Amino acid sequence: MDIYTMNSFDPDLIIESPGRINLIGEHTDYNMGYVLPTAINKKITFRFRKNKSEHICKVYSKDFDKSLTIDLRKVVRSITEWENYVLGVINEIQKLTDELRGFDCTLESTVPLGSGVSSSAALECGMAFGLNQLFNLGLSESDIVALSQKAEHTFVGTQCGIMDQFASVMSREDHVILLDCNTLEHEYIPINLEPYKIVLLNTHVSHNLASSEYNTRKMECEQGVAILKKKYDTVGTLRDATLEMLKTVKDEMDNTIYKRCMFIIEENERVMAMTKALKENDLKTAGKILYDGHSGLSELYEISCPESDFLVNFSKGIPGVLGARQMGGGFGGCTINLVHEDVVDDYIRAISAVYYEEFGLRLTSFEGFPSKGTSIIYKK
């Protein structure tokens, strides 16, 4: 694949699109609630150029050393997962405009895959953002966010919420976004954690189950809403419900549905509490909210796994660690930890050793720096 040799590829456009972290607010997005994410300094770099073709596009992934040829007249789902993110985005763009023409693109990523930091949104949003620039499609940032989310629904099959795509595109350096997933109203909250750091620990547990379980959780929440609605006509989604309301319908609900709803209602409250803690620079409270969030997603939403539980429990005994929880869609990925800068190295050393002893898996770690969203690095 000569033309894709990274050195010889002369791009018209270079785009960087980041992964994201989420301080708190898991699975609240598709329940129309609140989230507190931001982009991080791990990103996918896209090099684009128009080719002379009307319909033929080539996309090369350096990390997989695989390329994909697309005929714009026949964009269909693939059996290869990463290809569906690209194809899904092209398919959604074609619903909005007929201005797409042949292009070549190379991808190179520092976002760890399947680790709860949304390499998928980075890929979708970078592709959409880049094609918008390359062909002057006139799409707005909100169009890019929305079509990228839709691509995941239609071509990948995960009924995801809006958080990841919103964070990937809209983030600002040194801020987290308090996002209302119902109205998309948002506020940029400055984040200064000094002398603490955001440490991400990658469990390296693959979350294959995540997509089907994810869709199941979404359905369970909808079942909860249907029961709540019968009694309270103000409840359109779980963001409208309170714990008091939920308790009054407990006997009409399967216990699993009850636990799912309870988690979402409490998780929305935690987003508000975390926002307040950040504004007041109350990092001790911020850390406690992380631990509480983890208990909820482990016991009520049941999307944790032994590896994540182990890491979070171990962290509780370490001085200088204020809080920890599993982050993202569930069943592994990364934990997010709030750790004093003086103990970061010792903490990582100690937790990696016990983790290896317990599971035979090597932890990897990195620091999460709140960073800006998808952007143009170069344009001819």
Positions in the binding site for ligand GLA (CB under 6 A): 26-27, 29-30, 118, 160-161, 163-164, 328-329
Single out the residue of 102, 83, 212, 224 nearest to residue 159, CA to CA. 212
Between residues 11 and 330, which has the closer beta carbon with respect to ligand GLA? 330
Strands 103-109 and 175-180: unpaired
Between residues 118 and 335, which has the closer beta carbon with respect to ligand GLA? 118
| CA 210 to chain CA mean position, Å | 13
Between residues 134 and 210, which has the closer beta carbon with respect to ligand GLA? 210
Using alpha carbons only, give the angle 90, 102, 108 rounded to the nearest 5 degrees.
65
- 240 has catalytic annotation: no
Least spacing, CB of residue 213 vs ligand GLA, in Å: 11
Least spacing, CB of residue 118 vs ligand GLA, in Å: 5
Please name the residues in contact with 142: beta carbons below 8 A apart, sequence gap of 6 or more. 184
Strands 34-35 and 175-180: antiparallel
Q: Which residues does residue 67 pair with via DSSP β-bridges, in sequence order?
A: 60
Residue 367: C-alpha distances to residues 120, 189, 329, 336, 346 (Å): 20, 19, 20, 9, 14
What's the CA gap between 171 and 162, in Å, rounded? 13
Least spacing, CB of residue 26 vs ligand GLA, in Å: 4
* Residue of 164, 180, 251, 309 marked active site: 164
At residue 59, the 3 state secondary structure works out as strand
Between residues 30 and 263, which has the closer beta carbon with respect to ligand GLA? 30
Least spacing, CB of residue 296 vs ligand GLA, in Å: 12
Between residues 329 and 373, which has the closer beta carbon with respect to ligand GLA? 329
Least spacing, CB of residue 161 vs ligand GLA, in Å: 3
Half-sphere exposure of 141 (CA within 13 A, CB side): 11
Active site residues: 164
